[in-house]
Structure 1
Amino acid sequence: MSYNIALNFEDGVTRFITCNDGETVLDAAYRNQINLPMDCSDGVCGTCKGSCHQGDFELGDEYIDEALTDEEVADGKILTCQMIPVSDCVVEIPAASTLCKTGTAEIGGTLAEVNLISPTAIELKVTADQDIAFLPGQYVNIGVPGTEEVRAYSFSSLPGSRELSFLIRNVPGGLMSSWLVGQAKTGDRLSLNGPLGVFYLRPLALPVLMLAGGTGLAPFLAMLEELRVKGCDQPVHLLYGVTNDDDLVGVEALQQFAADIDNFTFKTVVANPDSAHPHKGYVTNHMEDAPIGHGEVDVYLCGPPPMVDAVLGYFRDQGIEPHSFHYEKFSPSVTGVGEPVA
């Protein structure tokens, strides 16, 4: 038996390795030519300390308190030289990937479809050369064919498949947008580099509020695909805001998620005051169904910078401090840059 281990480095790079039954994370990493920090490998020095809040594992008792205290264990800290996974796990490594002599994976793929699904959004589908592991919510850098430039886009598809999808802002004059709309054809080769990012779905232990703006819906579609497969035992509510009626995309998919996933609800909001949409304004005007309570909620937020800033200001003004707050900004420009920024 083996387990999939996601190693999250502090520079946002994620590498997936396979850990065999009874094998430590440190040994599995070295077997995969990833040099995690280590001095002794015997649970004495503490150099290989990291964190694991997702997945099950054993630590045993072959380490000393100076290397890892009981308080640190209770806080989710681990020693990779002692951690033996008994399920798939996500391990946080407090070091840059470059210091561990690794980096993002280079992946080839073939363009399968380009769909202009609204005046402002493009759906890109890619068939990768291999199954792609990523954490739902993460992004990948895609090379713009014919240039040395890359653009960053969040996965909107289920992790672990070679059938990938992305929801891309159609930026007039944008480098990637112009290529997709004017030149791309089925069968074109694409280069992907990743996965990347610290914006990803954590285990559901509390109610969840998701807030999406425009094509910031993409990472939530990947998260909901994951919840559809794994189940959902906490209330999850999505508020999806756009500027105009034509900007609303993926509504049928959200309706299907609501039918398939227990405890999932959503609401769409249109900012244009001339819209006939039943919910007008900004997402912060429609928080009545949000499972906020007194702050016992995990919040995920992805959208353009003004929306992210407005939501952060809303919680601050309301005096509400969520249990956890994960957010990602994206800043499309006329050059086509759409890189998520956590």
Structure 2
Amino acid sequence: MSYTIALNFEDGVTRFIGCKEGETVLDAAYRQKVNLPMDCSDGVCGTCKGHCEQGEFDMGDEYLEEALSDEEAAEGQVLTCQMVPSTDCVVQVPVASTLCKTAVGKVEGTVAMVEPLSEDSIELVIDLDDGAELAFLPGQYIHIDVPGTAEHRCYSFSSKPGESRTTFLIRNVPGGLMSGYLTDQCKVGERLSLSGPMGSFYLREITRPVLMLAGGTGLAPFLSMLEQLAQKQEEGQGCEAPVHLIYGVNQDDHLVKIDALDALKERLPTFSYATVVVDEDSDHPRKGYVTHHMDTEVLHDGDIDVYLCGPPPMVDAVLKHFDVQGIAPQSFHYEKFTPNQAPGEAA
């Protein structure tokens, strides 16, 4: 048996490794040429300390408290030289990937579809080359090189992990480098280079109600998260906690992928969503901003995990709203994106 370990480095790079049953994370990483920080490898020095955000493991009792205190262990801190996984895990490594002699993964693919979904959004579908390995955590993003330039742009996956066909929901920015390429030049069959995955905005294990807040093409990472949740539901691993999405746009015709959200509602009994339109002249039943529609029943008195992805003003408004309301969610993960670099900041 083998487990998949996602190593998240502090520079945003994620590297996936396989860990054999009974093998430590440190040994598995070195076997796959990822030089995690270490000195003694015996649980004495604490140099290999990291944080396990998700998954189950055994640390044994061979390490010294000077290397890892009981308080640190209770908070999810681990010593990778002692950590033996019993499930897939996500581990935060507090150094840059370059210091561990590993790099961002690179893959190639072929454009399968470029479809304008609205005035301001485009769906890009890429078929990865046979044998290409592109693991990621739902919610993460990747760099896509802009053909004919030395530039790249960053886009969140809208498809679930483990697929040979990947999809992206891209904002159509007038005069944008990638937007111009996709709308004026890109043809089915053209080749694209991708590198990643990256980012600390991804779905954690669900143990309480979840509130997802999406602005515009910030819907993309939530489609990926929900697809994975739906797959788990179909595999008999569904969660009982409610998951609610509030999806806000500027105009009625900017609402996209509604059919996909409806299909996800059918597959996920605990999932619900609401759409919001800013335009005052809209006939939409919910107008204004997402903060106007964060009702008491979806806030659960703060006993929620919040995921937020949208343009900086939206992110700032939601942060201010929680502060004014005196609500402190159990966990809060957000990502800002700008027209030329999406996403731009995660927390």
Q: TM-score, normalised by structure 1?
A: 0.97
* One-letter amino acid of the counterpart of residue 340, structure 1: G
Whether 1:294 aligns to 2:298 is no
Q: 1:184 aligns with which of 183, 186, 202?
A: 186
Return 5+ residue gaps in structure 1 as ranges.
Answer: none
Corresponding residue for 1:199?
Answer: 201
**C-alpha contact (below 8 Å) 1:104/1:195 kept by paired residues:** yes
In 2, the alpha carbon distance for the partners of 1:183 and 1:272 equals 32
Corresponding residue for 2:344?
Answer: 340
Corresponding residue for 1:268?
Answer: 275
**C-alpha contact (below 8 Å) 1:136/1:223 kept by paired residues:** yes
Deviations 1:103-145 (A, max 9, x none): 2101111111100011110000001122421000000000000
DSSP 3-state at the match of 1:292:
helix
Corresponding residue for 1:43?
Answer: 43
Shift of residue 291, structure 1, vs aligned partner:
2.4
In 1, the alpha carbon distance for the partners of 2:100 and 2:198 equals 16
Structure 2 matches for 1:131-146, cutoff 5 A?
A: 131-146=133-148
Corresponding residue for 1:124?
Answer: 124
DSSP 3-state at the match of 1:145:
coil
Return 5+ residue gaps in structure 2 as ranges.
Answer: 233-237
Shift of residue 289, structure 1, vs aligned partner:
6.1
Corresponding residue for 2:230?
Answer: 228
Structure 2 matches for 1:232-251, cutoff 5 A?
A: 232-251=239-258
Q: TM-score, normalised by structure 2?
A: 0.96
Corresponding residue for 1:214?
Answer: 216
**C-alpha contact (below 8 Å) 1:157/1:164 kept by paired residues:** yes
Shift of residue 71, structure 1, vs aligned partner:
1.4
**C-alpha contact (below 8 Å) 2:335/2:343 kept by paired residues:** no
In 2, the alpha carbon distance for the partners of 1:170 and 1:340 equals 17
In 2, the alpha carbon distance for the partners of 1:144 and 1:78 equals 40
Deviations 1:82-108 (A, max 9, x none): 011111110111111111111210111
Range that drifts further, 123-132 or 13-22: 123-132
In 2, the alpha carbon distance for the partners of 1:44 and 1:60 equals 13
**C-alpha contact (below 8 Å) 2:43/2:63 kept by paired residues:** yes
RMSD of aligned C-alpha atoms? 1.0
DSSP 3-state at the match of 1:219:
helix
Corresponding residue for 2:85?
Answer: 85
In 2, the alpha carbon distance for the partners of 1:45 and 1:301 equals 38
**C-alpha contact (below 8 Å) 1:139/1:154 kept by paired residues:** yes
Shift of residue 292, structure 1, vs aligned partner:
1.3
> Residues 290 and 154 (structure 1 numbering): CA distance in 2 closer, same or farther, change over 3 Å?
farther
Shift of residue 290, structure 1, vs aligned partner:
5.0
Corresponding residue for 2:318?
Answer: 311
**C-alpha contact (below 8 Å) 1:119/1:247 kept by paired residues:** yes
**C-alpha contact (below 8 Å) 2:142/2:197 kept by paired residues:** yes
DSSP 3-state at the match of 2:111:
strand
Shift of residue 186, structure 1, vs aligned partner:
1.1
